[in-house]
Amino acid sequence: MADRNDLSGPYEEHLDLSTMSKEFLIGLLGVWSNSYASLNKGLFGALLKRMPIEEAAEVIVETFTPMYKDNMPLLTSLSGIEPKTVQDLHTIARLSLDGELMQKQNGVNSNVFESEAKWSDANNMHSRVRKCPYLEGMEMIGAPDSMKNAVCFDVEEPLLELVFQQDNPDMPRIGIDILKAGARRSKSELCCEWKFRKADPNDVRPVVMVLDEKYPAHAAARDARRAAKAEAAQQ
């Protein structure tokens, strides 16, 4: 039985993870998950130095779309689940790189996300996120509210559509609604709040929903920023 808890001792050229203990592998998965969060933050920060916020958000979605499209079906197969409910898809989503199961080490939440989910039934979930490295990282560097809103609205929801495999017409249709997201007045507030519910099976939405129709206030603020920039450029 594998029981190695660390890599101390003589150097081994042909090291194999199958020789490592369960505790070591769980810790390693936690570091990998945290690395994903760091990569996402670093990429967004680098893009913001080179282009407007809205364009950076589009690049982030385009960059991570193949990862979810290629790997969520593999996680579905690994899980052994034939998805029929929102709860089934949520169970599979927990296996993704930024999923809940990847963020627990020895039964304790790591420093990636902290959230809680309440289910009224197998097709209705209310989720509250209390700790988010993306939002907290932006707050730490004094990022403008427009950047926080772009990450939470223009990046997070489209990627959640892919995490829940809404690009696959054979999967149950899910409605995703943001109750709270983006810039907050105080760190005592929730980072974000969501509802996930079973949608009409005949709903044939595109992979990325038209967020402007769902969140007109966010779209209006974004368009106002664009207009102000265009006017300033002409002066």
Contacts 24+ apart (CB under 8 A), 165-171: 165/72, 165/73, 165/76, 165/83, 165/89, 165/92, 166/205, 166/207, 167/69, 167/207, 168/73, 169/204, 171/83, 171/89
Vertex 8, ends 7 and 9: CA angle to 5°? 120
Of the chain, the end-to-end C-alpha distance in Å amounts to 72
Q: How many CB atoms lie within 10 A of CB 139?
A: 15
Residue among 72, 66, 123 nearest 98 (CA):
72
What three-state secondary structure class fits 87? helix
Residue-level pLDDT at 102: 59
Q: What is the largest CA-CA distance in the chain?
A: 72
Residue-level pLDDT at 53: 84
Q: How far apart are CA 16 and CA 19, in angstroms?
A: 6
Is the distance from CB of 172 to CB of 229 less than 8 angstroms? no
What three-state secondary structure class fits 208? coil
What is the mean pLDDT for each group of 10 consecutive residues in the chain (235 residues)? 81 87 86 80 85 86 90 95 96 85 50 82 95 86 86 86 90 89 92 91 52 65 76 81
User: Per the structure block, which two tokens stand in for 216?
Assistant: 């007109």
C-alpha distance from residue 138 to each of 96, 117, 146 (Å): 23, 25, 11
Residue-level pLDDT at 212: 56
Residue-level pLDDT at 120: 97
Residue among 225, 75, 71, 214 nearest 154 (CA):
214
Residue-level pLDDT at 101: 65
Residue-level pLDDT at 220: 76
Residue-level pLDDT at 192: 94
Structure letter (DSSP) for residue 84: -
Residue-level pLDDT at 56: 86
